[in-house]
């Protein structure tokens, strides 16, 4: 019985080694490393797996290091993104293997190398090259060049979250070739919007130059391809209640000699009045974002916040006392009366129009329209 159990155990161990050996023999070193790290995490004393890991790990590192050296020898300016990827692979690989027990690392001659500086330098050089090259492509003004520029700008956005004006240049790409985009309005605010809100906020009233640059549909047109969808997200809707406040304050001044009257009232040559200001306020705020979604890559490529505010304010004044003490600017407003507060519907309509102007400025930015 003991002999049978021993044979079964040996067969299990051999079967677990075969897939990794086949991967190593096929040159698929990183796949074999993934399997071996998993096995050695559970059974760190398996000498065969330690041997295989040492072989796969060192061979994979040598290949990547040789590729980096070969690329640098070319002296070409477009090599740095590839070099960056190889450094990232080397760093990720050593981090993965470095979590294994110390005796495993000693047996495979593991030596930790700091790749962080190499990664940062190559990232920076890659971004500099692609930024300059994409700019040259965009100057050509044709769709093929714009598509290539788009790919290079997307590489930059993957390397750095905020790199110069890459986000704006990505929008510029949309303006080359006169393609259609689909615009969708998404209400994420939790509040109910007016029935015609989506129609109103997407009625951009484009001129010929803007429409030739980039036209749009709000409903998919059969047979028409949309490389991008522009999502207008409404995240917050704030509408304040009608608010009336009163503010009382006193104004006084000393009469000039020519204003003085011979009377007991003006004996001290000082006059005053009490002013009551009645202030009416109401406001509406719409906030959200405009996002560009690449339908081919199924990826959000650009997003910017947008917000608009509509405010109603009216002041009226009541003056008690000597009008001569009242400031001239208030005297001019004394005839003003309280006004009816605008309705909630009117406030939403006004703030929607203002947000539409903001959104149009994002999509049809005059700096990125090809005339």
- Give pLDDT tens digits for 33-65: 999 999 999 999 999 999 999 999 999 999 999
- Give pLDDT tens digits for 251-304: 998 887 666 654 445 456 889 999 999 999 999 999 999 998 888 778 887 888
Is residue 204 in some structural domain?
Answer: no
At 18 the pLDDT is 64
Is residue 31 in some structural domain?
Answer: yes
Domain interval for residue 147:
121-174
Is residue 152 in some structural domain?
Answer: yes
Q: Which residues fall within 8 angstroms of residue 66, CB to CB, at 6 or more apart?
A: none
Q: Domain count for the chain, please give it.
A: 2
- Tell whether 48 and 100 lie within a shared domain: yes
- Tell whether 74 and 99 lie within a shared domain: yes
Radius of gyration of the chain from its Cα atoms, rounded to whole angstroms: 36
Domain boundary among 66, 82, 113: 113
- Tell whether 169 and 98 lie within a shared domain: no
Q: Report the distance separating Cα 309 and Cα 240, nearest Å.
A: 11
Domain boundary among 92, 113, 134: 113
At 261 the pLDDT is 58
- Tell whether 54 and 79 lie within a shared domain: yes
- The pTM of the full predicted model, rounded to 2 decimals, is 0.61
Q: Which two tokens stand for residue 121?
A: 């330098």
- Tell whether 77 and 149 lie within a shared domain: no
Q: Residue 67 belongs to a domain with what CATH number? A: 1.25.40
- Give pLDDT tens digits for 140-174: 877 788 878 988 998 998 899 889 988 778 877 76
Domain boundary among 154, 174, 194: 174
- Tell whether 136 and 91 lie within a shared domain: no
- Tell whether 144 and 97 lie within a shared domain: no
- Tell whether 102 and 141 lie within a shared domain: no
Confidence band of 243 (pLDDT split at 50, 70, 90) = very high
Q: Report the distance separating Cα 287 and Cα 195, nearest Å.
A: 18
Confidence band of 178 (pLDDT split at 50, 70, 90) = low
């Amino acid at each position: 019985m003991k002999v049978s159990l021993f044979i079964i155990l040996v067969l299990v161990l051999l079967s677990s080694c075969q897939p990794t050996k086949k991967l190593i023999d096929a040159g698929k070193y990183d796949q074999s490393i993934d399997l071996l790290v998993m096995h050695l995490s559970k059974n760190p004393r398996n000498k065969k797996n330690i041997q295989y890991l040492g072989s796969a790990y060192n061979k994979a590192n040598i290949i990547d290091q040789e590729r980096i050296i070969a690329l640098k020898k070319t002296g070409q300016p477009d090599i740095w993104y590839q070099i960056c990827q190889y450094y990232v692979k080397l760093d990720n690989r050593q981090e993965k293997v470095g979590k294994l027990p110390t005796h495993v690392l000693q047996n495979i001659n593991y030596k930790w190398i700091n790749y962080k500086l190499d990664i940062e330098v190559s990232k920076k050089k890659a971004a500099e090259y692609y930024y300059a090259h994409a700019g040259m492509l965009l100057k050509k003004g044709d769709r093929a060049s714009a598509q290539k520029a788009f790919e290079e700008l997307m590489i930059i956005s993957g390397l750095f979250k905020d790199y110069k004006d890459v986000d704006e240049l990505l929008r510029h790409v949309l303006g080359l070739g006169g393609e259609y985009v689909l615009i969708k309005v998404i209400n994420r605010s939790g509040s109910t919007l007016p029935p015609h809100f989506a129609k109103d906020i997407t009625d951009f009233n484009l001129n010929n130059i803007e429409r030739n640059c980039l036209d749009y549909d709000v409903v998919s047109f059969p047979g028409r391809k949309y490389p991008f969808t522009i999502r207008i997200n409404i995240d917050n809707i704030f509408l304040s209640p009608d608010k009336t406040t009163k503010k009382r304050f006193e104004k006084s001044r000393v009469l000039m000699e020519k204003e003085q009257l011979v009377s007991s009232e003006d004996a001290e040559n000082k006059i005053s009045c009490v002013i009551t200001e009645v202030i009416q306020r109401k406001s509406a705020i719409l906030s959200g974002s405009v996002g560009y979604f690449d339908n081919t890559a199924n990826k959000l490529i650009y997003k910017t916040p947008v917000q608009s505010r509509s405010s109603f304010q009216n002041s009226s004044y009541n003056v008690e006392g000597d009008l001569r003490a009242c400031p001239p600017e208030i005297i001019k407003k004394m005839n003003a009366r309280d006004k009816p507060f605008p309705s909630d519907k009117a406030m939403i309509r006004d703030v929607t129009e203002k947000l539409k102007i903001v959104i149009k400025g994002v999509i049809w930015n005059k700096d990125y329209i090809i005339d």
